[in-house]
Each structure stands twice: as structure tokens, then as C-alpha cells.
């Protein structure tokens, strides 16, 4: 890596990136995390991404964007900005690896994923905006789901009781899967 590289990432990826400690191998690598709740407001996410990209460009940094498809044309947006988007449609796919993710979805397409950020902020991210206190709204949003997969990460606090509460509230079975950072590490290593 000759020039400094800035990875602009959703805060969902912070535990994984801190765990991988890539900056030890690539000392010119820098991270900028944007709040994970921006996916609730795609226009704000687009604006903050644009501002962060412009700031990195002013410092002559090479830029990687680590996001899923958090707004419809994010791929075109990144191309237009001259930014490399790390491949991946969902954060869960990136944290599990494409093979594991596809296996889970093939087994049961009606899988709802949870990770630490979503469990800790379920009320703000889902409960309130989707009006899930209302039984009819809850049924409407979750009628096609059959299970929850809680994707645990090494730095997670103990969230089992909260995950169980959410599964009970949503009337879904709960499974626990461990994140596999090897896919993310390989994606970033290839790009760096």
C-alpha cells in the first residue's frame, strides 16, 4: 500500500475490523465509521458518505466503501465518486462469508438476521419505526420469517437473553451462528 487508504464503513463492521487489526499489517490504513442507524435514512447516509469521501479525497487517500446495499444505487454512487465498494449485498453476508450465508438462506429463506448492533438498538431501528408493538404490524412484517439467526462476534457482550426475548416477541425460533471474518479479511486483503 503506497498511498494512505481510508475504509469508510458502517459501524456494524467495527467489531470485525478491530478484531482483524489490519492496520498492523497495513500501517497506512485508516478507518472511518458512520452510524449504523443511517440505513434508516438513505438520503442522510448518501450525504454523509459523500462528505466523508470528499474529506478523504482532500487528503489524497484511496477510498474503500464497506457497506451492503443500504440504499438502492450505492454501487453507482461509489463508481461516480471514484470509490471502490467492497463486494457484498448484506452486512450479514460479509460477516458470515458468502458460502455460509447462502447455505443459511438455502436451508430456510425465511431467516431474519440479528447481530449485536441490531439487538442493542432493536427498539430504535425496528420496533418504533415499524410500529411492531401493534400485533397486526408485527404479523405483516414478520409473517414470512421462520427463524432468527443471531450472528455472534468475539467481542459481543452476553446478549443471549435479549436475543431470546426478541425471538419470543417475534414468535420465531432462534439459532446462534458465529461470525467468520475470513471472508471479510480476504476481500479487504485483495483490495489492499
Residue-wise pLDDT for 94-131, tens only, equals 999 889 999 999 999 999 999 999 999 999 999 999 99
For residue 39, the tally of other CB atoms under 10 A from its CB is: 19
- For residue 141, pLDDT over 80 is answered with yes
pLDDT of 2 reads 67
pLDDT of 54 reads 97
Percent of the chain with pLDDT over 70: 99
Sorting pLDDT into bands at 50, 70 and 90, what band is 88?
confident
Of the candidates 161, 162, 166, the residue with the CA atom closest to the CA atom of residue 148? 166
Sorting pLDDT into bands at 50, 70 and 90, what band is 81?
very high
Q: What is the CA radius of gyration of the chain?
A: 17
Query: Crossing angle, helix 42-58 and helix 74-81, to 10 degrees?
Result: 20
pLDDT of 154 reads 93
How far is the CA of 4 from the CAs of 23, 31, 35, 104, 160, in angstroms? Answer: 11, 11, 23, 37, 39
Amino acid at each position: 500500500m503506497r498511498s494512505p487508504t481510508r475504509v469508510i464503513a458502517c459501524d456494524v463492521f467495527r467489531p470485525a475490523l478491530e478484531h482483524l487489526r489490519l492496520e498492523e499489517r497495513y500501517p497506512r490504513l485508516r478507518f472511518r465509521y458512520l452510524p449504523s442507524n443511517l440505513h434508516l435514512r438513505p438520503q442522510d447516509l448518501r450525504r454523509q458518505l459523500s462528505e466523508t469521501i470528499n474529506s478523504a479525497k482532500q487528503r489524497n487517500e484511496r477510498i474503500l466503501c464497506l457497506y451492503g446495499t443500504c440504499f438502492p444505487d450505492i454501487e453507482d454512487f461509489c463508481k461516480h465518486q471514484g470509490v471502490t465498494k467492497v463486494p457484498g449485498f448484506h452486512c450479514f453476508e460479509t460477516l458470515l462469508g458468502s458460502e455460509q450465508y447462502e447455505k443459511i438462506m438455502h436451508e430456510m429463506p425465511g431467516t431474519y438476521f440479528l447481530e449485536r448492533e441490531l439487538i442493542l438498538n432493536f427498539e430504535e431501528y425496528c420496533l418504533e419505526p415499524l410500529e411492531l408493538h401493534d400485533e397486526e404490524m408485527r404479523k405483516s412484517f414478520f409473517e414470512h420469517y421462520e427463524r432468527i439467526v443471531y450472528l455472534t462476534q468475539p467481542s459481543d457482550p452476553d446478549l443471549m437473553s435479549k436475543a431470546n426475548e426478541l425471538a419470543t416477541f417475534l414468535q420465531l425460533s432462534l439459532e446462534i451462528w458465529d461470525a467468520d471474518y475470513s471472508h471479510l479479511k480476504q476481500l479487504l486483503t485483495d483490495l489492499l
